[in-house]
Structure 1
Amino acid sequence: MPGSLPGAARPRQPNNGDAREPWHDPHMPLLAALLQDADVAGFVVTPDRTVSRHELLGWAAGLAAEITGRRVVAVEAAPGLPTMVAVTAALLAGVPIVPIPPDAGELERAHILRDSGAELILTDFPAASGSDAVPRKSISDVQPGSVPPEPDPSLPGLVLYTSGTTGAPKGVVLSRAAIAADLDALAAAWLWSADDTLVHGLPLYHVHGLVLGVLGPLRIGSKLRHTGKPTPEAYGDNPGSMYFGVPTVWSRIAAAPSSAARLRPARLLVSGSAALPVPVFDAIRELTGQAPVERYGMTETLITVSARADGERRAGHVGLPLDNIHTRLVDEIGNPLPDDGVSIGSLQVCGPTLLDGYLRDGGVRAAELIDGWYPTGDVATIGPDGWHRIVGRASTDLIKSGGFRIGAGEVEDALLLHPAVHEAAVIGTPHDDLGEQVTAFVVADPVTPQELITFVAERLAAHKRPRKIHLVPSLPRNAMGKIQKKQLMGG
């Protein structure tokens, strides 16, 4: 697999004069902390096993020797140490690795293996029923080995499959250099160091749980405690200085005050992968003594915007661009919009963390950039001080009603302020006169739709109030806790 096609690897940097030069050594090994001479006991802890830094390195190096020269390998990405070892081994060997979600259905799994061209599946699990024609290799049977030379940073490191609005999931190719640049930028923003202990129980096939949650410690040197599952009890039982979670995790922690109180010694609580509801933000701040740090990113760009560990943390906002990352808003025809905190536009990003491209026909097809900018598909506002607020997806969260542009997120936040409301999802639905009307799906204690409509109208402009509210028992979500609005639209 080539590292990139011509023009795919790095976009141009816009000359806006405001980039800070981050500390980032592109020649430093990707997993620099793992390669240090000094051993560290309890470097990685899981519910089943604890390993030192040198134990992890020897195990991964042994597996690296057995997969060196492979074009692409896959891993059954169940939560646990074997998955971490497999990904580490592939990165040591310079072999792109494809995580397969453990709950992938037969069709999704077959697509990932076929599309990626994986030559080997690394796994400690029995063969999936039905049958992969791809050979399998046990991870735990590997003997320790020697560390191979550091691969070229421009080579592909990970291929992460992500679902789009149509078609089968796409393989996003992320270079080793992009991963390193992102982790260094996050280390600067979060003051993340080898003195930290990171705790999380997130899946190991997404950016949050795998790139940040596993490769981060292997590059920066912090210890890692993976809880297997991200339950409030597991988080409370595992002492750490940093905790990662998605909004669903933080919502459950907020509903478990005794577990939340045990996180008070931590210095950083990070939320991502979806918007954190303001009431949950406020509850976590009250119960733990600190406001969560929110961040924004996607598979194709890694993490690009975040609040800072030593700075302000605002409910409903995701912070400022990371070092060497640039952002802008544009309207429907590509004209730049002002950073006035009011204008809603399509968010585009530019910087060294962008994907190399998508897998296509055995190679890497360049992403479609716009003069060097990656169109995220998200809509946002940017304030005069640079703070970003993500409204949602352009396809589902930008509602055009009666000539007004309405962000679904603002209406959702207003609904969540009502004491009876537990969850809310807002979309635009067809309306003969307005074009689209604001429609809400709400999980709540006993309350009438009209009461909620009036509640929102008293807090937002009248045109932003929901014109129709559906009271539902639950909202459809994916494995990362993101609400699946396409299902609410019948799509």
Structure 2
Amino acid sequence: MRDLLGETGESGGAVRIAGHELPREELLTRASAVAAEIGGADAVAVHATASAETVVAVVGGIMAGVPVVPLPPDSGPDERAHILNDSGAALLLAAADAETGHEDGPPVVPVDRLPAGSPPAPASAGADPDATALILYTSGTTGAPKGVMISRAAIAAGLDALAEAWAWTPDDVLVHGLPLFHVHGLILGVLGPLRVGSRLVHTGRPRPEAYAEAAGRDGGSLFFGVPTVWSRLAADPASAEAMRAARLLVSGSAPLPVPAFERLEALTGHRPVERYGMTETLITLSARADGERRPGYVGLPLPGVETRLAAENGDPVPADGETPGELHVRARHPFKGYLGRPEATAKSFTPDGWFRTGDIATIGPDGWHRIVGRASTDLIKSGGYRIGAGEVENALLAHPAVREAAVAGTPHDDLGEQVTAYVVADGVTEGQLIDFVAGRLSVHKRPRVVHLVDALPRNAMGKIVKTRLNELTP
């Protein structure tokens, strides 16, 4: 297998992160020192700040063939202790002056104070493709976070498929400011350019003005962002105008609201590429750089990926573009399971080997996928109807006064569940919003209750945390 980090001897793949320039040769030399320090460990944790030290540490782990466990720098003490204990990390890699918030547990290795390593060699080229490269912890919305074991082969296959879909080449300059402890920011956003051989400019934080500056000063051609990033850019016309020089804007990690898609197109001249994936599956669906891009849709399966829809009883759901069902995925290189949780791993697959994503989707006759929401929070059963929360959210977001919207099912004595909306808006009443949705969708899909709130709860990736919506009301 071609080395996960790209071809040996490539001169491309330089990284600039938060203003720190790291040529590829220096990155691999420093990473080889990390690899020498951690060789033989069962697993190592990385204090995953947006820093050169994080990139060096992760690459060092891959070179050494040691599973890397990214540790969110803003994690609380309980979450941090759980990840370190559950993963069995023997060491914690961090910058010497980093505030890791960790007193007990594995020793800290100061990445930036290790002696210079030997000149880089194809250290990982002969590694077992099925070996675990990363252990990424899920958000833990239904309990303690689970460690998702991802193999080298899965990462390589996923990145190669995206390079083809997005026409990603060594001539690109990738720009983003995403956290380095998730699939989006770390696997796509760091390992992606290293494998492809393109340059990476990480802006520290995903601010519109930083993206605009990178588009001009650095020749940024490929930009990654979550919907919150693109919504903020769309609200900053001057920065958005600078993005006309880019080649491709890619949105992921959550659905991009249709109004944000349309405003981005108007301001930047780009129709964003949307894609879909999970920690367990990496990216499985995407629009193509040279193909159609539809607002509200996440495209077609990537090479090596199959999808289907299933009803709650397991029966097949037709690909008619209207009927929702749970999205099942089958890929050439599935994730290796949840660390130390064989029962949870077995439960996540169907008897015939398909991964249950827990996401509700529709698939059109032409194969285009639309994500409706999560089965646990976004499929609302009201008065005998099955209603996708995402469809109602898009209808609310089409109102010019609405900035943010989240929809969930809440208990109702007669209907079982009612459609309840939580909306950030100015100059509009609850009744006006209910009528607005009823005028755009079937009447049974209108919200029965609308709560006007100051802000919606979000996690580090900008995703709305629907399990906390009930905290917004008395």
The equivalent position to 2:353 in structure 1, one of 345, 364, 372, is 372
1:311 to 277, 282, 291: 291
1:222 to 198, 205, 226: 198
Among 82, 87, 99, which residue is 2:53 paired with? 82
| CA–CA separation in structure 2 for the residues paired with 1:364 and 1:62 | 37
Where structure 1 has 5 or more consecutive residues not aligned to the other structure, the ranges are 1-26
Structure 1 residue 52, shift from structure 2 partner: 1.6
CA pair 450-47 structure 1, distance change in 2 beyond 3 A: same
Evaluate the alpha carbon distance shift between residue 431 and residue 187 of structure 1 in structure 2; reply closer, same or farther with a 3 A threshold.
Answer: same
**Paired AA for residue 259 in structure 1:** S
**Alignment partners' CA distance in 1, 2:89 and 2:344:** 15
Structure 1 residue aligned with 2:170: 194
Counterparts in 2 of 1:126 and 1:223: CA distance versus 1, 3 Å: closer
- TM-aligned CA deviation for residue 45 of structure 1: 1.2
1:80-479 equivalence runs, <5 A: 80-124=51-95, 125-126=97-98, 128-129=100-101, 131-142=103-114, 143-145=116-118, 146-147=120-121, 148-150=123-125, 151-239=127-215, 240-360=220-340, 368-370=348-350, 371-479=352-460
Segments of 5+ residues of structure 2 without an aligned counterpart are none
Residues 357, 367 of structure 1: 8 Å contact kept: no
Distance 1:402 1:459 in 2: 20
In structure 2, the residue matched to 1:67 is 38
Give the distance between the partners of 1:365 and 1:408, measured in 2 at CA.
Answer: 28
CA positional deviation for 1:129: 4.3
Residues 149 and 173 (structure 1 numbering): CA distance in 2 closer, same or farther, change over 3 Å?
closer
- CA distances 1:366-403 after superposition (whole Å, capped 9, x unpaired): 56311110000000100011111000000111011111
What secondary structure sits across from 1:122 in the alignment? Answer: strand
Aligned residue in 1 for 2:463: 482
Q: Could you tell me how far 1:353 is from its partner in structure 2?
A: 4.1
Does the Cα contact within 8 Å between 2:250 and 2:273 map onto a contact in 1? yes
Residue 395 of structure 1: SS of its match in structure 2? coil
TM-score (norm 1): 0.91
Aligned residues: 462
**Residues 238 and 363 of structure 1: CA distance in aligned 2, closer, same or farther (over 3 Å):** farther
Structure with the bigger RCO (C-alpha within 8 Å, sep 6+) is 1
Structure 2 CA distance, aligned partners of 1:109 and 1:486?
Answer: 21
Secondary structure of 1:295's aligned partner: strand
Identity rate, percent: 61
Give, in whole Å, the separation in 1 of the partners of 2:412 and 2:374. Answer: 20
Where 1:442 maps in the other structure, the secondary structure is strand
Q: CA RMSD in A?
A: 1.7
Q: Residues of 2 paired with 1:297 and 1:335: CA distance?
A: 23
Tell me: CA distance 1:29–1:476, structure 2 relative to 1, closer, same or farther (3 Å): same
| Aligned residue identity for 2:252 | G
Matched, 1:47 2:18: yes
In structure 2, relative to structure 1, the CA distance for the partners of 1:130 and 1:222 (3 Å cut) is closer
Quick one: distance in 1 between partners of 2:159 and 2:101?
37
What corresponds to 1:16 in structure 2? Answer: none
Please give the secondary structure, in 1, of the residue aligned with 2:57. helix
Distance in 1 (CA, whole Å) between partners of 2:124 and 2:214 is: 35
1:80 Cα deviation from its structure 2 partner? 1.5
